[in-house]
């Protein structure tokens, strides 16, 4: 349901795990330039004392692996090229549950 929201919809989370979430995304797709760029921007904002909590659905659809479970790029990164999105999502959840920075 989230993925169907308009691109400019603002997303606010209850806790700021932005850096950790980007690090997780990079553990799945280490060459994802969009995630690398966003991680760099967030770290810079944190150093400057700025908030990092809001995002947009466009950004989330681009970098959040859970919202990209149906993409061939993510399926390939997980070595699940023929998997259904729900299977990819479940594998992401399993890996995220065991992911510690």
14-30 confidence digits (pLDDT tens): 888 999 999 999 999 99
Number of compact structural domains in the chain: 1
As a dihedral over the C-alpha atoms of residue 75, residue 9, residue 43, residue 64, rounded to 10 degrees, the angle is -10
Distance CA 88, CA 53 (A): 26
Domain housing 82: 2-97
Query: 14: domain CATH number?
Result: 3.60.15.10
Q: 37-61: per-residue pLDDT in tens?
A: 999 999 999 999 998 888 899 999 9
The predicted pLDDT at position 44 comes to 96
Query: What value does the mean pLDDT of the chain take?
Result: 94
* Banded model confidence at residue 2, pLDDT cuts 50, 70, 90: confident
CA distances from 64 to 48, 54, 87 (A): 24, 14, 16
Percent of the chain with pLDDT over 90: 82
């Amino acid at each position: 349901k989230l993925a169907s929201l308009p691109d400019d919809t603002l997303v606010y989370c209850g806790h700021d795990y932005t850096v950790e979430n980007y690090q997780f995304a990079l553990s799945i797709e280490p060459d994802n330039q969009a995630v690398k760029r966003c991680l760099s921007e967030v770290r810079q904002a944190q150093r400057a004392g700025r908030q990092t909590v809001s995002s947009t659905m466009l950004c989330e659809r681009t970098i959040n692996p859970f919202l990209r479970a149906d993409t061939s790029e993510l399926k390939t990164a997980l070595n699940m090229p023929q998997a259904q999105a729900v299977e990819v999502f479940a594998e992401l959840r399993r890996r995220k549950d065991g992911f510690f920075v």
